[in-house]
Each structure stands twice: as C-alpha cells, then as structure tokens.
Amino acid sequence: MGRSLVDVMPILVISNTDEIDVKGRYTEGRWVDPGQLQEYRCIFSDIDMEGADGLFKEMYGSVGSFLFIVKTAIGAEQRVADEMYARLHGSGSLTSLQNDIMSILHPPTMRGYVFVESSALHHVEKLIGRSGGRDPKARRGLNQTPLKNAKTVLPGEAPLQDILPYLEPKAVTSGIEVGCIVEIVTGAFKGEKARVISVAEMKEEVSMELYEQPIPMTLNMRGDHVRVVERVDD
C-alpha cells in the first residue's frame, strides 16, 4: 500500500456465532453482505491505479461468491436458466465454469431477470456468451455464442438481503384478494376474466365469477391458474 508491499490472504470461515471479539490494534468489526462490498473502499484505496478500490472484492471472490443479475427477455426467464444449466453440464468448453458458477435461480415472481451465484462477473458473462459487457468493441475477437434472450449482466452485485424475499416459498393464492379481477391462464376458459368472490388459502384455491359470459358462472381454480389484472384498490 503506497510504497510498501503488503501480502493479504482472505480466509473464509464458518462460525457458530455472530458475535465479534475485536482484539489487538482493531477497535471495531462488522458483518458485511457480499453484495455491499462495492460500497466500501476497504484496501488498496491509496494505489494510483484504475479499479484499485475493487481489488479487495476480487480477492473475496476467490473464497466466496456474489449474486449477479442477468437481464432476459420477458417470458424467457426459465428457458435462459435451463440453457445456462445445459451449457455448464454439456460437452462444450463452458463446463470448465462449473466450479465458478454455484447456482442459477429464476424466482417465478421475478420477470425479466435470472439470478446467478458466481465468484466473479466475467464467469457469468462468459456463460451467456457476452464477455466484455455491453461494449461491442470489447467483444471483438472473442469466439463466443450469445445465449438467446440473455441480454446482459447488470453492473454490480446484488445484496443477499434483497434476494431473500424471492427465495421464500409463497402460497399460490398470495396477492389474490376478494374483489380482484383475474384472467384465467390455462384450461378451457383460458383468456376469460373473472371477479374473485372468495379465497381458500388452505386449499390454495380461488372462487370466482365469470362476468363476461352471457350467463354468469362460478368457478373454483388453483391460484396459479389465474393472474391478477386489476386489484381492489386500483
């Protein structure tokens, strides 16, 4: 740091407590979400070199992982996630990324995005065939096949605290209330609109009335067979 050479080795440990016992020259310690490391100028910050403040993050990546967000076409999220998995476990050169891509996730409630857990951004860009980011000049000369419907990797890492709500399983009736207008997305009445008259959370069913039919009809369907198009307070 400055004119001194400092050897820093990050070590990943598993602890059975969140208490921090600060000793020696240190007076304070805190737990940091990996996705928030980008907000800190932790080390090397006095080196006159572009990107020096990110070197600490890169060292952390060698022993841990970050959550990156891949932007996809709307409706193609699961296909993109499946193709990522196929690339990692196929017979091509991308199988070399298996140790650097820890998980791929598409929460059903998240449209247009797929989460990828990896040790570094460039591994995710390589997986979707877009190494070099958004700048076409940076991608020249690279032999890669862009993954269809995977547009780019968003800059920065996603804090785990922002992702956790999407990882918690929810009832299929979550977000559906009495009085909502819903559209049926499957079955014989696909495309029809109805008004919800009751919600049975235990059975994960909704009872609704088809109000656009010549003769009003009442149906019971699973909550994931409809989507809300107009809420009570809209």
- What are the structural domain ranges in the chain? 1-64, 66-167, 181-230
Residue 227: count of CB within 10 angstroms of its CB: 12
- At the topology level of CATH, where does 66-167 sit? Alpha-Beta Plaits (3.30.70)
CA distances from 210 to 99, 192, 193, 214, 229 (A): 52, 7, 6, 9, 14
Identify the CATH assignment for 181-230 out of 3.30.360.10, 2.30.110.10, 3.30.70.920, 2.30.30.30.
Answer: 2.30.30.30
Q: What per-residue confidence (pLDDT) applies to 6?
A: 64
Find the mean pLDDT for residues 198-222: 86
DSSP secondary structure code for residue 181 in this structure: E
- Residues facing 104 on adjacent strands: 116
User: Mean pLDDT over all residues of the chain?
Assistant: 81
Residue 79 has pLDDT above 60, yes or no: yes
pLDDT tens, position by position, 119-153: 888 899 999 998 876 565 655 556 678 899 999 99
Same fold: 66-167 with 181-230: no
